[in-house]
């Protein structure tokens, strides 16, 4: 295929678009790959569509290779199935909802768990039918609160979503592993640097769950990784390694102190170190901060008040707290709640009042038996010192609610954690029976008894990958596509005005085309400077410059990524490039 | 590629679905190609998706061959551009509208004229940039009042829409002709029987317009064709050939007659033939029926009353009337209109009162100068006989509002018209400057003056084509796909239980696969009867039966379309089939 720049629907821009913050967004717009139509809505111009399709092909090949079968659902879906699973309301503002001319409720599919489950139920009935893995590469819709970074977080986007249906948990594990392996192949083929992080399963329910994050400083997903091992995890999924429990022997008695005007950790530590004579220096890490929240289970009417105890040197991480309490909803206490529970003395809440009043009390995993804390004495301006866990109070359990910090010990015991950022490009997880329960998806077993099917759910952000790859593969001059996704194999720049140069370049392009090489031919009447700049911006991996050297039988081959240039005899260059392209 | 029926996500049905009326719908559901999700919303199962993709490939190849460039727009579009062209409201209930979380108005694109025009305006500026043809193969949405016939008229469907942008009318004509030629190639390659009919351009505005209709009794589009030529047209587009004008010399005087109780054509003719002695026999064709309507131009507030005169033996065809008056809105007169215009005497309206009172009066093209008519005398129970056009009244023009009947003379003067039905599969038309005017899409000319761009618009119903092809290619046993779109090339039926038969079939399938033949292999543990029935239903063009004959070195090749069977030596069959498939 020869694509001629003289007629290609492409106009490159010299200036970054005003609304673009990240390099991939700037460059994909400047190089004429995408254009914005609405917030989070983009048009794919010819070169962009090619990259998108190349990625789709890689994804499709690897899905087919694990025996997954491609189908395609509508994007416009009726309310009923989503009502049945509760997602019609749970999805909140993130769901695009609409009515048809008869007033019936519809939605634009954000993911298709319901439809896949219903379809398998509709076609399959016997245990002999299973397992099955189905997938689609399809346009999805989510009304993101803050669409950003161009195609990295759009409101209309292309996703590969697949779903496995198995008779039992071992089957689900196998399907999960097949996907995990396929995703590794996909992202490797696409030339991505990525990490696989342990994840929580979010609002989808389920058990094992991992995310594939493309490493990128501009990514909006934060994760942590270990300096001493391959460990990586979503911040929400980090499990705090508890210190060993300590002996209660010989620990000092708990003592209540008058600590006027110390409702915060900072004022408390300051007071203890300057206004008391306890013979020790206290730090925030010696204090136990009790944060009050209330939670409500899905479908429940009543809220439950909950106390969360974490070391005073750490803040509560709202996302970790919410992930720990899912699927329950979490809210802060309101004035009315404090009024209704006068034993909660703001700024001075301690474990005792909570436990005396039947309030569930969960603590950070660092609060192990034998650790001594300064904490609230349930009385204004008073704290208790040397309150010992396992002696003076017994929590109802632990909770991962404290922030994760760089330097924290890695959960696998090797090295410490550092923070990093990435772009979520894939997510695999064991969904379990949430959807098959909702729709009673059963297989008739060999013993004629029904077997409830278990599901896995697996997504790849196909259009987002265009952005993620661009984010990793660019330099100050423009895009630098990996060969597997590039919109062409060779960018032929005609650097000269002579007819003979044009004719020579056309000849080479034709020979390359005949050999199956995809050629982007810059046959425009423009200066070499303009053409070179556009070639760097567009980012085809190999640039062939046909210019004055042609008269001496020489053309130049340039590697876009390394910048290496080499003069090559014109009668050798086609064979050289064909070899290069075929790898 | 080998697709195994033992694991294929496919369950055929023995019964027709309850909601299916047309053969394609019944068979596509029974053979497991599609499943209904909502009214007008279908899921493509694996075999259906393959056929859809095969069609997409043919369409894409022929569009690329005429230099059209593929891009892709979002389906979720902002209101503003559609507001600007008036289509936000003009589309009426047919448009799916929705709001995002911020309350901004969006729509699901029914066609993308606005976006294409804006995109070209955004990228191009000089006359040197033109012409350009852009297309997309994309999911579209229309809230049809009566989604029907499965995928033939869905509310979510795949369409190829392309748009040409030219500097002048000759350019537009060339772009139109390129598309016309491409469409002929597409529909020929897809094995369709179709007609190209003259069409009106509908709500889109514009001039030259033709529709491609797949011939099908079950089609919902009616058209007429000539018995004596290749002429075919939408009923709306039929131009009535006027008879030659006649001399006014020696025609009898117009005379008013008392015709009590004759408000209808039937009662009038009966009265004239039995209660008067005019020395002639009258038929309905001798009478001139005056139908009153009112019209309103887009954006106008006032309605205009309009008189339509047509021969009394014909009814007004509402669609033809509306097409003739487009883009104006048309409505019947209400009682209040008659009350406000007392000169309109219901049942006895004549040309005179209309013309005396300044009402525009348009007549059927058959009402030429010198024709004499019986028509209303603008007085209850009175008609005028021998009222001559061009002598006693002069219409303000002609209008195509009368019904077209089988037996009418063909507009090209050759043969007469007969009615037929078809499925609209393509539409090409010269849109003109409606959208480029709305968005001021100009090119800077060589003389530095702006040139307003002119557009063509061209659509192919890609998903509908799956239904249209099925409608033409089936028999009582099932589907009979043309090779170009079939979900596989060869359906290998293992008709036997012996391991050797299975092994032999597997061997043949592997050899076919190695030669690039797409194989559907029925390796299920089912009876030969079940397998044969499914093979007929699924409709792969060639069926290879591997059974007991294998022991004697013979397999059977069956042509699905003709039913022809032939025993072929097993060591020759692969070569034979490869040749057959490659054509």
The per-residue pLDDT for B269 is: 92
Instruction: Kindly provide the residue ranges of all beta strands, DSSP E only, lying in B245-349, ordered along the sequence.
Output: 255-258, 288-296, 304-311, 329-332
Q: What is the mean pLDDT of residues B333-350?
A: 91
Question: Which of the residues in chain A have pLDDT under 70?
Answer: 201-207
Return the DSSP state at A266.
H
Listed in sequence order, the residues at least 6 apart from A87 whose beta carbon sits closer than 8 Å to its beta carbon are: A95, A114
Of A71, A72, A98, the CB nearest to B96: A98
pLDDT tens digit sequence for B79-115:
999 999 989 988 889 999 999 999 999 999 999 999 9
Cα separation, B4 vs B13, whole angstroms = 18
User: Starting at the edge strand that comes first in sequence, how are the strands of the sheet with A76-78 ordered?
Assistant: A76-78, A105-108, A97-99, B97-99, B105-108, B76-78
d(CA A481, CA A520): 14
pLDDT greater than 70 at residue B49: yes
- The residue to which tokens 């809210």 are assigned: A331
Within 8 A by CB and 6+ apart from B452, the residues are: B433, B436, B437, B440, B441, B442
Kindly give the pairing relationship between strand A519-522 and strand A2-4: parallel
Tell me if residue A75 falls in helix, strand or coil: coil
Min mean pLDDT across A427-431, A507-511, B16-20, B201-205 is at: B201-205
Distance from CA of B162 to the nearest CA of A (A): 14
Residue A240 DSSP code = P
Of B9, B77, B134, the CB nearest to A71: B9
The contacts of residue B100 (CB under 8 Å, 6+ apart) are A96, A143, A155, B106
Contacts of A477 (CB under 8 A, 6+ apart): A533, A536, A537
Contact B141 A115 (CB under 8 A): no
Q: How many angstroms separate the Cα of A169 from the Cα of each of A66, A121, A370, A421?
A: 19, 19, 40, 33
Q: Give the homologous superfamily in CATH for domain A21-195+438-471.
A: Bira Bifunctional Protein; Domain 2 (3.30.930.10)
What is the rounded distance in angstroms from the CA atom of residue B511 to the CA atom of residue B444?
Answer: 60
- Look at residue B202 and tell me whether its pLDDT is greater than 80: no
Topology of the domain comprising A488-582: Rossmann fold (3.40.50)
Q: Which phi-psi region, left, alpha or beta, contains residue A448 (left: φ > 0; alpha: ψ -120 to 50)? A: left
What pLDDT, on the 0 to 100 scale, is given for residue B547?
Answer: 94
For residue B448, what are the CA distances in angstroms to A524, A525, B232, B438? 21, 20, 44, 21
Interface touch A71/B139, C-beta < 8 Å: no
Average pLDDT, chain B: 93
The tens digit of pLDDT for each residue in B460-501 reads: 999 999 999 999 999 999 999 999 999 999 999 999 889 999
Nearest to A119 among B43, B69, B115 (CB): B43
Task: List phi, psi (to 5°) of B21.
Answer: -110, -35
Q: Given A7, A45, A96, which is nearest B71 (Cβ)?
A: A45
Q: How many other C-beta atoms are found inside a 10 Å radius of the C-beta of residue A204?
A: 19
User: Are B70 and A49 within 8 A, CB to CB?
Assistant: yes
Element containing residue A195 per DSSP (H, E):
strand A194-198
Question: What pLDDT, on a 0 to 100 scale, did the predictor assign at position A569?
Answer: 97
DSSP sequence for B177-193: HHHHHHHHHHHHHTT--
Closest of A102, A107, A163 to residue A131, by C-alpha:
A163
Please tell me the distance from the alpha carbon of residue A32 to that of residue A22, in angstroms, as a whole number. 16
- Architecture of the domain spanning A255-398: Alpha-Beta Complex (3.90)
Contacts of B126 in chain A (CB under 8 A): none
Q: How far apart are CA A550 and CA A573, in angstroms?
A: 12
Residue of A nearest to B129 (CA): A7
- Nearest Cα residue to B1 out of A175, A59, A60, A56: A60
Taking a C-beta distance cutoff of 8 angstroms, is the pair B392, B273 a contact? no
Instruction: Check CB contact under 8 Å for A38 and B74.
Output: yes
Sequence-distant (≥ 6) Cβ neighbours of residue A527 within 8 angstroms = none
Whether the CA torsion B267, B273, B274, B276 is positive or negative: it is: positive
Cβ-count burial B154-176 (b if 16+ within 10 Å, e if not): bbbbbbbbbbbbbbeeebbeebb
Residues with Cβ < 8 Å from A56, sequence gap 6 or more?
A137, A158, A160, A462
Q: Give the residue among B142, B202, B255 at the shortest CA–CA distance from B429.
A: B202
| Alpha carbon distance B268, B284 (integer Å) | 9
Q: What is the mean pLDDT of residues B522-550?
A: 96
**Which residues does residue A305 pair with via DSSP β-bridges, in sequence order?**
A294
Max mean pLDDT among A147-156, B155-164, B213-222 falls in B155-164
A77/B123 CB distance under 8 A: no
Our CA-based measurement puts residue B9 at a distance from the nearest CA of chain A, in whole angstroms, of: 7
Give me the pLDDT at residue A418, please. 93
pLDDT at position A221: 87
Instruction: Give the model's pLDDT for residue A204.
Output: 41
Q: In terms of Cα–Cα distance, which of B23, B49, B56 is closest to B35?
A: B49
What is the average per-residue pLDDT within B561-583?
Answer: 95
pLDDT of residue A102: 93
Distance CA A40, CA A145 (A): 10
Contact: A115, B46; criterion CB under 8 Å: no
Give the A:B interface size as CB pairs under 8 Å.
Answer: 131
Contacts of B174 (CB under 8 A, 6+ apart): B131, B166
ipTM exceeds 0.85: yes
The percent helix, strand, coil of chain B (3-state, each to 5) is: 30, 30, 40
Instruction: Give me the residue label for tokens 């709306």.
Output: B236
Distances (CA, A) of B302 to A294, A334, B92, B299, B305: 63, 60, 20, 9, 10
Annotate B432-458 with b (16+ C-beta within 10 A) or e (fewer): bbbbbebbebbbeeeeeeebebbbbbb
| Structure tokens given for B345 | 């005497």
Q: pLDDT digits over B399-427, tens only? A: 999 999 999 999 888 999 999 999 999 99
| Contact assignment for A41 to B98 by CB distance below 8 Å | no
**Nearest CA to CA, how far is A100 from chain B (Å)?**
7
Fold of B18-238+418-471: BirA Bifunctional Protein; domain 2 (3.30.930)
Instruction: Judge whether residue B146 has pLDDT over 90.
Output: no
Please tell me the predicted confidence (pLDDT) of residue A206. 46
For residues B421 and B221, give the distance between their C-alpha atoms in angstroms, rounded to a whole number: 6
Mutate to test the interface with B, among A7, A17, A43 (most CBs of B within 10 A): A43
Residue pair B226/B232 in contact (Cβ under 8 Å)? The answer is yes
Taking CA atoms, B499 is separated from A25, A89, A375, B84, B504, in Å, by 58, 55, 77, 69, 8
Of A49, A122, A145, Cβ closest to residue B35: A122
DSSP state of A445: -
| CA separation for the pair A31, A5 (Å, rounded) | 13
* Count of other CB atoms within 10 angstroms of residue A552: 10
**Other Cβ atoms closer than 10 A to B565:** 12
Residue ranges per structural domain of chain A: 21-195+438-471, 255-398, 488-582
Alpha-carbon gap, residue A221 to A209, rounded angstroms? 16
User: With b meaning 16 or more CB within 10 Å and e meaning fewer, what string describes B383-417?
Assistant: bbbbbbbeebbebeebbbbbbbeeebebbeeeeeb
């Amino acid at each position: 295929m020869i694509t001629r720049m003289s007629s290609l629907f492409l106009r490159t821009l010299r200036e970054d678009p005003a609304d673009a913050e990240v390099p991939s967004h700037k460059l994909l717009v400047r190089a004429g790959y995408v254009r914005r139509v609405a917030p989070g809505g983009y048009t794919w111009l010819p070169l962009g569509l090619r990259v998108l399709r190349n990625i789709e092909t890689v994804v499709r090949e690897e899905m087919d290779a694990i025996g997954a079968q491609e189908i395609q659902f509508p994007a416009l879906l009726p309310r009923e199935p989503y009502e049945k699973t509760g997602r019609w309301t749970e999805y909140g503002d993130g769901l695009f909802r609409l009515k048809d001319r008869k007033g019936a409720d519809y939605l634009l599919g954000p993911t298709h768990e319901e439809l896949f489950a219903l379809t398998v139920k509709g076609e399959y009935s016997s245990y002999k039918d299973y397992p099955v893995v189905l997938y689609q590469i399809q346009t999805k819709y989510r009304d993101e609160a803050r669409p950003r970074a161009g195609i990295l977080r759009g409101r209309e986007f292309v996703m590969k979503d697949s779903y496995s249906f198995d008779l039992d948990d071992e089957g689900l594990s196998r399907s999960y592993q097949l996907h995990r392996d396929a995703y590794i192949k996909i992202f490797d083929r696409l030339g991505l640097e990525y990490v696989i992080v342990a994840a929580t399963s979010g609002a989808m329910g389920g058990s094992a769950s991992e995310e594939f994050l493309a490493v990128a400083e501009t990514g909006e997903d934060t994760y942590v990784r270990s300096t001493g091992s391959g460990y990586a995890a979503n911040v929400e999924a980090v499990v705090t390694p508890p210190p060993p429990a300590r002996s209660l022997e010989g620990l000092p008695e708990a003592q209540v102190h008058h600590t006027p005007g110390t409702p915060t950790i900072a004022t408390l530590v300051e007071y203890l170190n300057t206004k008391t004579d306890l013979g020790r220096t206290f730090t925030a890490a010696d204090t136990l901060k009790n944060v009050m929240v209330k939670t409500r289970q899905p479908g429940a009417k009543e809220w439950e008040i909950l106390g969360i105890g974490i070391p005073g040197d750490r803040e509560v991480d709202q996302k970790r707290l919410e992930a720990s309490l899912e699927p329950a909803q979490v809210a802060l206490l309101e004035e009315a709640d404090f009024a209704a529970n006068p034993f909660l003395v703001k700024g001075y809440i301690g474990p005792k009042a909570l436990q005396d009043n039947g309030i569930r009390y969960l603590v950070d995993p660092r609060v192990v038996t034998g650790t001594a804390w300064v904490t609230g004495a349930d009385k204004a301006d008073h704290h208790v010192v040397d309150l010992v866990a396992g002696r003076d109070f017994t929590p109802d359990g632990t909770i991962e609610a404290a922030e994760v910090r760089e330097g924290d010990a890695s959960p696998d015991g090797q090295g410490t954690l550092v923070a990093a950022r990435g772009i979520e490009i894939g997510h695999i997880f064991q969904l379990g029976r949430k959807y098959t329960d909702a729709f009673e998806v059963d297989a008739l077993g060999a013993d004629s008894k029904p077997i409830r099917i278990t599901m896995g759910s697996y997504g790849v952000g196909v259009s987002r990958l265009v952005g993620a790859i661009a984010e990793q593969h660019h330099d100050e001059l423009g895009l630098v596509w990996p060969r597997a996704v590039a919109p062409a194999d060779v960018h032929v720049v005609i650097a000269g005005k002579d007819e003979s140069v044009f004719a020579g370049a056309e000849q080479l392009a034709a020979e390359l085309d005949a050999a199956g090489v995809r050629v982007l031919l810059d046959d425009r009447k423009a200066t070499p400077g303009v053409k070179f700049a556009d070639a760097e911006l567009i980012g085809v991996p190999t640039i062939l410059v046909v210019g004055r050297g042609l008269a001496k039988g020489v053309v130049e081959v340039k590697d876009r990524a390394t910048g290496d240039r080499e003069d090559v005899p014109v009668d050798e260059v086609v064979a050289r490039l064909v070899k290069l392209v075929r790898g």
